[in-house]
A and B are shown apart, each in its own frame.
Chain A
Amino acid sequence: MSSHNGSSNGRVIPAAYPPPVDSQKEFVKRGLDAEDELIEVGVAIVGGGTAGLACANRLLQLLADDPETMERLGEVPVAVIEKAKTCGGHNLSGAVMRPGPLEELFPEMTREQWRAEGFAFGEVTKESVYILPSAKTKLRIPPPPPQHNKGNEVVSVSALARYQQRVAEEAGAYILTETAATQLIVQDGRVVGVRSGDKGRGKDGEPLSNFEPGTDIKAQATVLAEGCWGHITGAAIREFDLAKDREPQVWELGVKEVWKVKRPLDRVIHTLAGWPLKISASYGQIGGSWIYPMKDEKTGDDLVSIGFIIDLDYADATTSAHDLLQEIKTHPLFRGVLEGGERVAWGAKALPAGGYWAMPKLSMPGAVLVGDAAGIMNLASLKGVHYAIKSGMLAAESIYAALKRGESSFENYEQVVEDSIIGKDMWEQRNTRQPFQKGLIRGGPLVNLMIATKGRFPGGRWALHRNDSKPMFIGKTKDSYPKPDGKYTFDKLSSVFISGNATRDDAPNHIRVQKHVPRELAETWKWMCPAGVYEIPEDAPAEGDVDVIVNYTNCVQCGAITAKGGRLTVPEGGDGPLYQIL
């Protein structure tokens, strides 16, 4: 790991400069406030994304037929706590979704109805996978088995969450939007709820004239559905040692755009590795891109979803997912699709990519983890939406069964997940990412072998190393980034603008990083962040330690900083982007 002075071979290791944060001390509250000051709910679901809302949807379906248990959950049987202005506001994914779990959740809905509701955009009938050897050429390869998408549906998780929110509200859930959950409340070794965030603090954290403190939300069961390693999830994992004997979690960062196009696309397209990535072991860039067709039934528009994903294990500080997306758009494969079109959306989000061995224990006394927060994602295909829905449903069923029996343990949820398609798929894919930590060339063939043999060969348990333990250097990836032309390629600031990001100018800083670090690390953050949060002063020295300017009001809360040396905490509820069709 790191040497004692934080560098290795002249390269700088982010982990040597940990952010000023003590998650257990700050984010775990011991004991509840007085009865008359707190709010009591039956089941508190932290996070109104696909997984959290699927849990709410399923719970309410079960409770609708069981008034007795419903009664026992009190006045507010199900509450969903969501930090964005509306559910879906902070949700983003590719996404080509396997239809099964959503069909299970809403059995009366047809796929035509999905599209009429505005969250689905067509069934996949054709697909192509390419490797791009250079900026002008492409090489078609047969889709590797995990990439078989025929029959899947192109969806927008932002739009889906909005639909799920409506259904949940109609079924009686209280959806508390613009509400951040900042602390896990633990009493006698059990999760008894969460605390909502304060509102009305100034730049330095001082209470302003309209300061409103948060409230304790007491719950019989708590579901952590915060997404790609949420804020409270991190604290819960530490508090209950849920990562014991697990591999460390690792992440990828995806930057996505939606475009209105002149000609409809007839297939989903994926690219793997290749240009513009630098795949040598020294640079260690692993990633790929996608182009998905979207037919908007409501407006009749032809849209496409495009995006670039990069594994955060790279070594060149100048690696930037946003700029790589802009770069790949100059390739004829992309340009052909986007010609004459108009960008209508932009966003970014991190994905948990550690797979089976990095999944934490999924339950603790009083609470369970679902979705991306549980690290549930298919590594070979990078699909997680259907698992999010499935895990939400399974969590609902376990919690319902326990509450119905008057029990308070949700331990069996873990087994139920293991026995489901989630467990089966995750197990098969369990070693398909680790070899990439050796670089694409050495790791690639091993990955293919594992995929082809459904995980049987080579077996065993392959270790992962943390993203922030990777020594960083300032390399040349940035040299080929295109200059934004405002038509097909865009700068970070105007991208943040169309994400609908609205944050109070005098809000406190929610990002924890050290402010004076070696240049290599500062550059890592500067390039990595898709929203341009981190800047280095123009007059900073060319080598050695530099100051870091944190423009935290640009932050779209993608979560990447937590992987590479910082810590994203939750800003005031209501802040951040307002994704609609991402």
Chain B
Amino acid sequence: MANILVYALHYDGAINKNSLGAVSEGAKLAAELGGEAHAILLGENVPQELAASLGNYGAKKVLVAEGPEGLAQPLVDAMAAAIQGGDYKYALFGGGLLGFEIGAGLAARLGAGVAMEVTNVRAEAGELVAERPILGDSAISEIKYRSDVGIIIGRLNAFEIKESGAGAAAVEQLSFELSPQAQQATMLTRGEQRGADVDIEGADILVAGGRGLGKAEGFELAEDLAKAFGGNSAVAATRAVVDAGWYPYAAQIGQTGKTVAPKLYLAAGISGAIQHKVGMQGSENIVAINKDANAPIFEFSDLGIVGDLNKILPKLTEAVKAKKGA
């Protein structure tokens, strides 16, 4: 039996979206290998219902371990214990910082092969092959595992969430021992919000503004739209407008600003010059609004609208609000 153990991060009573994606992916791959996907949750008094809910995404069983939340090393201990005691061939992590740390630590603990920033996994002759982009997304590399256990760490948003409708999963307590190193770290405060500090790198939806907005006030249109989308949405900016002082540097995307890959990148008034393109070309869905039909951005956008953003953005904001309210 080739079982897959999937790490799931939870916070504030909910499972992290990337973990849901990983569980869905794990279930899909396990089926192809003729095995099962099990999930693992670690925390202080993890609610049974929360654990069981992962069954809806394809987990056959959920292991619950008691330990300090938000730290990687206790999970290395827990997952190693589960893998050594169980029948797991692969450990799967959705995108997320802890996932990288845990996956790498686990690889070291087990002497296992590890691949990170994985964007696609496929089953081939009873084995899993991981694919990851390299060279700035210009090529894809394939990775096969030589070790007994293979560790796959996905890129942010790489795995699609799929509800299987299978109902609640079986929940099992996992007992394990904390290693000496895991005992050296103590979480003092977790998840402190810092004012308007929006992290554009982690946003699911980005509304980005460029010179075409006309003036600094033009960013109000972008902010309104981002607010209408709600959830994990943020506003970003091109270097030209940041230089002009229309928006802060923390929101800059492009060659020397940040690189992003959100689910939706909506570019308003952005020409799509290559310095900007490299910062956002990995976005899953690119929508561009520009009044110049020859703007380079239309060459790589998924949906392009040639028109006046001053007319389109307000109407779009209303329509999105209406759709969400409905």
- The answer to whether B296 touches A486 (Cβ under 8 A) is yes
- The answer to whether A505 touches B274 (Cβ under 8 A) is no
Chain A nearest CB: distance from B310 CB in Å? Answer: 15
- The answer to whether B256 touches A505 (Cβ under 8 A) is yes
CB within 8 Å of A: which of B247-261?
249, 252, 255-257
Binary interface encoding of chain B residues 239-252 relative to chain A, with 1 for a CB under 8 A from any of its CBs, else 0: 10011000001001
Residues in chain B near residue A494, CB distance under 8 A: 273-274
Q: Which residue of B lies closest to A498 (CB)?
A: B274
Q: Is A265 an interface residue (CB 8 A)?
A: no
- The answer to whether A493 touches B274 (Cβ under 8 A) is yes
Residues in chain B near residue A504, CB distance under 8 A: 256
Give which listed residue, A483, A486, A493, A502, contacts B256 with CB less than 8 A: A502
Q: Is B45 an interface residue (CB 8 A)?
A: no
CB within 8 Å of B: which of A361-381?
none
| A491, B271: Cα distance in complex, Å | 12
Chain A nearest CB: distance from B238 CB in Å? Answer: 12
Knowing A505-B243, A505-B249, the reply to whether A497 touches B299 (Cβ < 8 A) is: no
Knowing A483-B294, A505-B256, the reply to whether A493 touches B273 (Cβ < 8 A) is: yes
Binary interface encoding of chain B residues 266-285 relative to chain A, with 1 for a CB under 8 A from any of its CBs, else 0: 00000001110000000000
Residues in chain A near residue B239, CB distance under 8 A: 505
Residues in chain B near residue A505, CB distance under 8 A: 239, 242-243, 249, 252, 256-257
Knowing A505-B239, A505-B243, the reply to whether A497 touches B274 (Cβ < 8 A) is: yes
- The answer to whether B296 touches A497 (Cβ under 8 A) is no
Give which listed residue, A486, A491, A497, A551, contacts B255 with CB less than 8 A: A497
Looking at chain B's contact residues, is the secondary structure mostly helix, strand, loop, or mixed? Answer: helix
CB within 8 Å of A: which of B51-100?
none
| A486, B299: Cα distance in complex, Å | 10
Residues in chain A near residue B294, CB distance under 8 A: 483
- The answer to whether B275 touches A497 (Cβ under 8 A) is yes
Residues in chain A near residue B296, CB distance under 8 A: 486
Chain B nearest CB: distance from A270 CB in Å? Answer: 31
- The answer to whether A493 touches B249 (Cβ under 8 A) is no
| A502, B257: Cα distance in complex, Å | 12
CB within 8 Å of B: which of A221-236?
none
Residues in chain A near residue B249, CB distance under 8 A: 505
Q: Which residue of B lies closest to A538 (CB)?
A: B211
Residues in chain A near residue B275, CB distance under 8 A: 493, 497
Residues in chain A near residue B273, CB distance under 8 A: 491, 493-494
Binary interface encoding of chain B residues 294-305 relative to chain A, with 1 for a CB under 8 A from any of its CBs, else 0: 101001000000
| A491, B277: Cα distance in complex, Å | 15
Residues in chain B near residue A493, CB distance under 8 A: 273-275
Contact sample, A vs B, 23 pairs, CB 8 Å cutoff: A483-B294, A486-B296, A486-B299, A491-B273, A493-B273, A493-B274, A493-B275, A494-B273, A494-B274, A497-B255, A497-B274, A497-B275, A502-B255, A502-B256, A504-B256, A505-B239, A505-B242, A505-B243, A505-B249, A505-B252, A505-B256, A505-B257, A551-B243
Given contacts A483-B294, A486-B299, A505-B249, 20 further A-B contacts (CB under 8 A): A486-B296, A491-B273, A493-B273, A493-B274, A493-B275, A494-B273, A494-B274, A497-B255, A497-B274, A497-B275, A502-B255, A502-B256, A504-B256, A505-B239, A505-B242, A505-B243, A505-B252, A505-B256, A505-B257, A551-B243
B residues lining the A interface (CB < 8 Å): 239, 242-243, 249, 252, 255-257, 273-275, 294, 296, 299
A residues lining the B interface (CB < 8 Å): 483, 486, 491, 493-494, 497, 502, 504-505, 551
A-B interface, 6 closest residue pairs, ranked by CB to CB distance from nearest: A494-B274, A493-B273, A497-B274, A505-B256, A497-B275, A493-B275
